[in-house]
Amino acid sequence: MKWIICFIALPMVLGCGGELQQLAVETMQNANVALSSADAVGAQESAGAPLRAAQKMLVTAENAINAGDAERAYRLALRSYLLARIATETAIAVREESLVQEAQAQLTLTEENVAEVLQRLETAREEFDTLRSD
């Protein structure tokens, strides 16, 4: 009976290991894509530390998968993916914040111009009223 249980349990354990290795490989591929996306949006300048950490983790994950440690490779690849996503979103947020600040500066300048024009208009009205009353 013990042999039958071992015979049934062994393939399940080995099968799960293969699935974990496949999951680790797919997660490493996803992390690679996320790193490429981070580079594409300029994360190196605005979120360099998380991006560098993600790159190092991916290299470590690749070393772990080559050493046969699929579980460690999966965990490192997942962390690499998440850090790359954080770097991407941080870079996008920094870029958008810069655009908002630029738009606010433009709005302030436009408001100042409008105030100046309104002041000129008021001065012109006063001069016109003065001329009309004379």
pLDDT for 112 beyond 90: yes
Give the orientation angle of helix 48-66 with respect to helix 2-40, to 10 degrees.
150
Nearest residue to 28 (alpha-carbon basis) of 67, 68, 89, 70: 70
pLDDT for 31 beyond 90: yes
Give the orientation angle of helix 48-66 with respect to helix 70-133, to 10 degrees.
160
Cα–Cα–Cα angle for 54, 46, 107, rounded to 5 degrees:
150
Nearest residue to 46 (alpha-carbon basis) of 89, 81, 79: 89
Per-residue pLDDT tens over the stretch 32-78: 999 999 999 888 887 678 888 999 999 999 999 999 999 999 999 99
pLDDT for 4 beyond 80: no
